[in-house]
Amino acid sequence: MEETLPLGRIAGVRVGLHWSVLVIVALVTVALGRGRFPDAHPGHAPLLYWALALLTAVVFLASLLAHELAHAAVARRNGVEVDGITLWMLGGAARLRGEAPTPAAELRIAGVGPLTSLVAGGLLAGVAVGLEALHVSALVVEAVSWLAAINVLLAVFNALPAAPLDGGRLLRAYLWHRTGDRLRATRGATAAGRALGWFMVLTGFAVVLFRGDLSGLWAALIGWFLISAATAEARQADMRGVLGGVPVGRVMTADPVTVPAAATLADFVSAGPFGHYRHSAFPVLAADGSVAGLLTVRHVEATPPQSRERTTVGEVMLPLADVVTAAPEEPVLDVLPRLQASPARRALVLDAGRLVGILTVADITRALAWPAASGPAGRREEA
C-alpha cells in the first residue's frame, strides 16, 4: 500500500497516509457524530457532536499509528529494516524490508502490535474512569470509552491466528518453531487467513440478506481483504522458496542490447521494432563504454517526432543514478523490492562497473514458472 500524503518521520521511520484513510475517518465520524453520541447523550449542539466525533476519529488513527510503530521498533531491534508505515482504509501497514531471522524474532515483532493496542485500551479505560470521577462531561467520557473499547477490539481481532493479521504471524512463528520450515509455516498461516476471510465474507452477506443490516458489508469487505492478502502472502512465500539464495546472475538476461548515448532518437527509432532494437528498454553506454543510464520506449514517445532528429539518447535517458543496479552475486530476493518500486521495473547488473546483464520482473516470473527451478524450498531453518 503506497502512501498518498507523506507525514514525515517518527523515530526515523517514514510515515504516510493513503487516500483511502479518509474513508475510515468519515465512517467513524458519521457513526459517532450522527449515531452513538446523540443517542447516548442527547441535548447537545450538533456541532459539538460532529467536532468531538472528528477528534475521536483522529485519535483512533493515532492509536493505529502507535500499533504500527511498535511493530517497526521491535523489527529494527531484531535486525529487520523498515521502509515505512502507511495508514489506510483498513488500518495500517508497516513495510518491512525483510523477514524475521528466527521464530523468536517473529514472535516478538508480531506480538507487540496487539499488546500495544491492548495497553492503549487499558490506559484509555483508566482515563475514562478518571474523567467520570472528576465529573467531566459525559459526552467526553463516552468518546474516551469508545476509544478504549475499539483499541481492545483491535487487539483481539489482530490476535486471531490468521495471516496477514498479527495473530497469523504468531501462528507462523509457532509452526516455524515446531517444523523448522518457514515456508510450510507460512502456508499454514495463510491457509488460516483465507479460511477466516471466507467465514467473514459469508457471514457478512448472511447478515445483509437475512437481517437487512448493511453493516454486514463491512465484515465482508474485511474478509475479502484477508483472502486477497493471505493469497498474496502465500505466493510471496512460494517465490522465496524457489528463489531463496539464487543470485541475480542466474536469472538476469546476459549481454543485453545497448544503445550509445550519442545516437539520435531518430536513428534509434529507425532501427526498430524488428531490427536491432526489438526490446522496450535498453542500457545506454557513454563514448568510453561505461554505463550512462537506461532508455525506455516511453522516453522516446515523450519526445515529439519533429524533435527526434536533433535529440540524443543521452538527453532523454534515465540517468544511472536513478536506475536500480545490482551485482551478479546479489540474491534476487534482495533486489526484487527495489525492482518493484522502480518506475522502469528493471535493474542493470554491473560487475565492477561493467554492464553484464539486465534484470526484469519478467525474468523473475520466467524463473518461477520453470519446472526445474526448485530452489531450496524444502530446506529446514533452525530457530
pLDDT one digit per residue (tens) for the chain, 383 residues:
566 788 888 888 889 888 888 988 999 999 999 999 999 999 999 999 999 999 999 999 999 999 999 999 999 999 888 888 988 876 778 878 778 899 999 999 999 999 999 999 999 999 999 999 999 999 999 999 999 999 999 999 999 999 989 999 999 999 999 999 988 999 999 999 999 999 999 999 999 999 988 878 989 999 999 999 899 889 888 888 888 789 999 999 999 999 999 999 998 988 877 667 778 899 999 999 999 999 999 999 999 999 999 999 999 999 999 999 999 999 998 888 788 778 888 999 999 999 999 999 889 888 887 764 444 434 434 33
| Euclidean distance between CA atoms 116 and 152, whole angstroms | 10
Q: Note the pTM of the prediction, 2 decimals.
A: 0.73
Taking the CA atoms of residue 179, residue 79, residue 326 and residue 361 in that order, the dihedral angle to the nearest 10 degrees is 50
Q: Which three cell numbers stand for residue 345?
A: 521495473
- Asked whether 101 and 79 are in contact (CB, 8 A), the reply is yes
Query: Which architecture does CATH list for 248-369?
Result: Roll (3.10)
Catalytic residues: 68
Q: How do the domains of the chain map onto residue ranges?
A: 5-243, 248-369
Are 87 and 65 in contact by the 8 Å Cβ rule? The answer is: yes
What is the rounded distance in angstroms from the CA atom of residue 51 to the CA atom of residue 40? 16
